[in-house]
Amino acid sequence: VDLAHAVGNLPLRLHDNGFGFADLTGERDSIFIPPTEIGGALDGDQVRVQLRPGHGGRTSARVVEVLERRHTRVRGHLRLEDGQCWVAPFSEKLPLIFISEAAGAPPWPEGSIVEAEITAFPDHHDEAPDGRIVQVFEGDAAAPEQVVLHILSDLNLAPDFSPATLA
């Protein structure tokens, strides 16, 4: 592995503890990325990484560029903390989304199931993305139809058929 250059268009998989792995197709199964080297990348993003020597002779990497965002919208529960509004995504691999438009008390109760659009992505691993609420869902989050919609959202798939498909 050539450590002098960046390799790119690699899918990033993040662990709940903040570190990640970039899949190096054809060379190795994956390469370790420490939490401080993730930058503003989120789970599932396509990234370019700079390879570097790691601990114990193993190669590690740092994210130098996010090429494509996997998640631009996320579903989760609305959380209110110290006068601030957040969305806790159903996917545990995604960070809390700060809802800046909800200054003061939002019109929805805490725990509401919402979909948020990410409006500003972080630059560093310890920053939260900014977002806005685009939809509030009624009903039980554990209802089968809601669970299917949450899974589709996590996979970044549209729940509706296109007009061409319906024709």
**pLDDT, greater one: 8 or 15:** 15
With beta carbons less than 8 A apart as the criterion, state whether 116 and 153 touch. Answer: no
Q: What is the pLDDT of residue 44?
A: 92
Residue 136, exposed/middle/buried by CB under 10 A (0-12, 13-18, 19+)? middle
Mean pLDDT of the chain: 84
Q: What is the mean pLDDT of residues 81-101?
A: 89
| Predicted pLDDT of residue 102 | 59
Comparison of pLDDT for 52 and 89, the residue scoring more: 89
Tokens of 92: 């545990």
Mean pLDDT on 143-154 = 73
Q: Please report the pLDDT score of residue 59 as a whole number.
A: 81
Confidence of residue 141 (pLDDT cuts 50, 70, 90): low
Least confident of 6-15, 77-86, 113-122, 149-158: 149-158
- Quote the pTM value: 0.79
How many other C-beta atoms can be found within 10 angstroms of the C-beta atom of residue 163? 7
Reported as a pLDDT band with limits 50, 70 and 90, residue 26 is low
